[in-house]
């Protein structure tokens, strides 16, 4: 199965971004890709006001285009994410999977980017609402291969990716607009870790360049195999279409050799899931030093 990740630069110019996405998706399909991934907010990215102005309803032009081109080209198009205006008027960063039969799967970004990076404050929760569930979508191949859908900052939460793998994901998609600084420092490490931990292919499409003054993404879109090997990678600048062939039998091979999913302690996972949000470490009892020593006697 051939897959492609698309790297591009979105600004406040929605029409220009739409044209670039259409051209690059067609290039990917022309290279033989049956699965194509666009970046996060490929339609408009930059200042909060720009993103808000470019938000669309779920039946708007961006989603309509994604479904139409997926059918036309006969591909599974993971159309990155777009800012969707919900029926209640609130916005949600929503990942899209348009299948070649016209089917649409959607995933609302679970983890909102409220962080301070390189002197700039990001507060996605000021304008967007988080999603409320996991999504494992199915490809149109004979095996109905499971694909776990995530968005950008979700990458830093390994428990999400483990849950997707347990629910059948053999491929994980990561559309992103990772900041220039965090791309350089963390991007590859996190992508390879998520692939290794779950024995899954990871498709990661990042934006590149300056979206608005002082707001930059770092590129380096890549495809990683279940062993953590980078199969293909884009540069840190310029638009790109990165292609690799995915041997899905490799997922079974890696998971059989390192059976972490089978050996996973469901009781421990359930206990962790039951903890309240916040500082998880503070919720666990810690033995006094002398008790710790005594508990280890005879080992």
Residue 109 bears catalytic tag? yes
pLDDT at site 272: 77
Provide the CATH number for the domain formed by 2-295 in this structure: 3.60.110.10
pLDDT at site 119: 86
- Give helix 61-73 / helix 14-30 axis angle, nearest 10°: 10
Given the residues 41, 45, 109, 233, select the one marked as catalytic: 109
Range list of H helices, 41-139: 48-53, 61-73
Q: Is pTM, for the whole model, over 0.85?
A: yes
* pLDDT tens sequence across 221-271: 999 999 999 999 999 999 999 999 999 999 999 999 999 999 998 888 888
* pLDDT tens sequence across 22-48: 999 999 999 999 999 999 999 999 998
Nearest to 170 by CA among 207, 139, 215: 139
pLDDT at site 279: 59
- 89 exposed, middle or buried (CB, 10 Å; 0-12, 13-18, 19+)? exposed
Residue 45 bears catalytic tag? no
Residue 40 bears catalytic tag? yes
pLDDT at site 120: 85
* pLDDT tens sequence across 129-138: 999 999 999 9
Given the residues 41, 45, 128, 152, select the one marked as catalytic: 152
Range list of H helices, the chain: 14-30, 48-53, 61-73, 158-166, 180-182, 188-198, 249-257, 260-263, 266-274, 289-295
Indicate if the pLDDT at residue 143 is higher than 90.
yes
Element (H, E) at 285: none
Domain boundaries, the chain: 2-295
Element (H, E) at 75: none
> What distance in Å separates the CA atoms of residue 260 and residue 29, rounded to the nearest whole number?
35
Beta partners for residue 187, in sequence order: none
Higher per-residue pLDDT: 217 or 296: 217
79: helix, coil or strand?
A: strand
């Amino acid at each position: 199965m051939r897959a492609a990740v698309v790297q591009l630069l979105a600004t406040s110019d929605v029409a220009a971004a739409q044209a670039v996405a259409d051209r690059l998706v067609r290039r990917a399909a022309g290279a033989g890709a049956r699965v194509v991934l666009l970046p996060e907010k490929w339609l408009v990215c930059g200042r909060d006001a720009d993103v808000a102005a470019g938000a669309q309803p779920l039946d708007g032009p961006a989603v309509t285009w994604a479904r139409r081109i997926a059918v036309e080209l006969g591909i599974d198009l993971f159309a990155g994410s777009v800012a969707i205006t919900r029926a209640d008027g609130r916005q949600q960063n929503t990942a899209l999977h348009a299948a070649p039969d016209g089917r649409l799967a959607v995933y609302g970004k679970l983890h909102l980017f409220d962080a301070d990076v390189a002197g700039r404050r990001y507060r996605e929760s000021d304008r967007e609402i988080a999603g409320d569930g996991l999504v494992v979508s199915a490809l149109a191949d004979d095996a109905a291969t499971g694909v776990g859908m995530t968005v950008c900052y979700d990458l830093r939460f390994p428990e999400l990716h483990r849950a997707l793998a347990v629910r059948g994901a053999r491929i994980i998609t990561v559309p992103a607009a990772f900041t220039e600084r965090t791309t350089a420092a963390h991007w590859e490490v996190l992508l390879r870790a998520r692939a290794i931990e779950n024995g899954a292919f990871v498709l990661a499409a990042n934006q590149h360049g300056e979206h608005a003054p002082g707001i930059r993404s770092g590129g380096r879109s890549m495809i990683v195999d279940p062993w953590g090997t980078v199969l293909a990678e884009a540069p840190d600048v310029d638009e790109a279409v990165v292609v690799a062939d995915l041997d899905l039998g490799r997922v079974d091979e890696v998971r059989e050799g390192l059976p972490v999913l089978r050996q996973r302690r469901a009781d421990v996972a359930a206990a962790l899931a039951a903890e309240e949000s916040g500082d998880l470490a503070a919720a666990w009892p810690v033995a006094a030093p002398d008790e710790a020593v005594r508990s280890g006697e005879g080992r």
